[in-house]
A and B are shown apart, each in its own frame.
Chain A
Amino acid sequence: MRATLFRLYFEGPLKELPRAPALLGHVLWWYRYTHGREALEGLLEKPLPFRLSSVFPEGWLPRPKLPPVQVEETERRKAIKNLTLVSLETFQALAEKGEEVLLEAPEVLGRARPPEPRRLRRSRVGIDRGTGAARRGILFTQELLFPDPRTAYALYVMGEAPFDLRDALAFVGEMGFGGGASVGLGRFRVEGPRTVELPEAKEANAYATLAPGPLEGALYYDLEPYWGRLGGGYVGSKPFKGPYLRTREGSVYQEPTALYLDTTPQDPPEEGVRVREFLGVFPLGVRL
């Protein structure tokens, strides 16, 4: 499948690698800042003409969720069970031939590993305004990811955004993605766009997704509950969206479905505001 690739280079720590719905939210806040609220509402009236993937180390994709292969040997069974990312070559083989190919895949045999961000628990304290010393009860730790700033992380785009997506991503990278941006988390630099061919099965009869998707239409899937915060101009207002269930990257669908979920909190952040979550399958063909 032909897609557009942007390379993201993280310039410091962050809480979580960008995933499609949250990254799209950041991009759409940029659109609202630069084009205004009415333009954004106009854009969201119709189905979006583009889809974003979640972000993965370049050259690696989520392992598609396919009917499992039975493995007797414990070590290999565990290696297959723990495998979350696969190389483009392995993905292509998986999409064509199913999980049998994992038995001899370099990722399972320990010959290939995706780059992994280092983790650091950073402790923070609250300072007592009276004494200037650390305040009792406000010592807490956060586990942060430190991706190597030289490692390219890939963001794939399907379709054509009706604005300059590079500008939007550069702004998001400048301001910081995700939580803790006001204390320096989530910064990245953007390179691209360039056109790439993503692996998929030739005579596909299903689709593996590179983005979290809706429950509707999912055939083989991993579920996750999601309890997101409001961002952009609503940071600091009542923070949570309505919770919902969605599928993880790698889940397999019959059709490349997409929908807007209404996740407006019971008490909306402003009168008349509707909060929506876009869940669009980013489809790579697989054969079941």
Chain B
Amino acid sequence: MQLKKVLRIRSVLLAKTGLRIGMSRDQMAIGDLDNPVIRNPLTDEPYIPGSSLKGKLRYLLEWSLGGPYILEAKERHVYASPDPKDPVARIFGLAPENDEASLKVARERGPTRLLVRDAYLLEDSKRELERTAARGGLYTEIKQEVFIPRLGGNANPRTTERVPAGARFGVEMAYRVLDDLDEEYFQNYLLRALELLEVDGLGGHISRGYGQVYFLHPKKPWDAQEGLPLKERLLVEEIALGA
């Protein structure tokens, strides 16, 4: 098994609607937010963890392939295909069960091909979002929602924090190519998962309008990209291995 090349995929993720990737909190103060977004502890800026992005891409690809990916996912695990050429396991990785057959498949399959970085707010986007501080958020909006009991009574409010529509994050992924099949899977499966993400959404509450995202080419003007095919909105380069 030999690493042939590594592809770097760069794009800008535009939040077309409010984006919410939440975090748990150890303690809560009186008057505090019910549902905060995840923030970088150094800068207090909201960001998109690579695990959220990668997990959602995997989930969408599995749903698009259907069958055993959905029906045979075990209680605590995703579907473990016995086929070393399984596209989901190859691209996104799979921890093998501790039995000889699974280990043999894992050895033949090789390492996870896709690495997804954490995505941070772009500098110009941060400047645009600075005015949110006047309304109580830091690069975020505080959205009040209420639950209405169906038989009358008082509305129960809750506060949700989200990154406002229009925010832009720098997305970067690396894709390891070990053989020709990996090249094929890049075109057929990874790009498909990214397309599905634009159709579906990222983060919480997408059934209520949150989390619609759109990829933009980092080196082309934002306005000119609406409606372009996804491939034209990604910057794919080969990373030099150095020797």
Contact = CB atoms under 8 A, between A and B. Distances in A.
Q: Do A and B bind each other?
A: yes
Interface of A: 12-13, 30, 33-36, 118-124, 126-130, 132, 135, 137-139, 141, 146, 148-149, 163-164, 167-168, 170-171, 174-176, 180-185, 187, 232-239, 267, 269-270
A31 B199 CA distance: 41
A123 to B, nearest CB: 4
B3 A118 contact: no
Contacts of B110: 233, 236
Contact of B1 (A123, A168, A187, A233): A233
A238 to B, nearest CB: 5
Contacts, number: 128
Interface in B104-119: 106-107, 109-112, 114-118
Contact of B96 (A123, A132, A137, A236): A236
A3 B40 CA distance: 35
A120 B106 contact: no
Interface in B69-127: 69-70, 73, 75-76, 78-79, 92-96, 98, 103, 106-107, 109-112, 114-118
B142 interface: no
B46 to A, nearest CB: 13
Contacts of B69: 129
A137 B76 contact: yes
- State the main secondary structure of chain A at its contact with B: mixed
A183 B50 contact: yes
B51 interface: yes
A120 B110 CA distance: 31
A236 B242 contact: no
* Closest A-B pairs by Cβ, 10 of them: A184-B50, A167-B242, A34-B243, A183-B51, A184-B117, A33-B3, A183-B50, A235-B111, A118-B41, A129-B73
Most buried by A among B26, B94, B95, B111: B111
B73 A118 contact: no
B242 A171 contact: yes
Interface string B136-174: 000000000000000000000000000000000000001
B54 interface: yes
Nearest to B109: A236
B38 A122 contact: yes
A183 B116 CA distance: 5
Given A236-B93, A236-B106, A236-B112, A184 B49 contact: yes
Given A175-B115, A182-B93, 12 more contacts: A30-B241, A33-B2, A128-B73, A129-B63, A146-B42, A164-B243, A171-B241, A171-B242, A183-B50, A233-B3, A236-B96, A267-B103
B228 interface: no
A181 B103 CA distance: 21
A34 to B, nearest CB: 3
Most buried by B among A138, A167, A168, A182: A182
Interface string B52-78: 001100010011000001100101101
A58 to B, nearest CB: 18
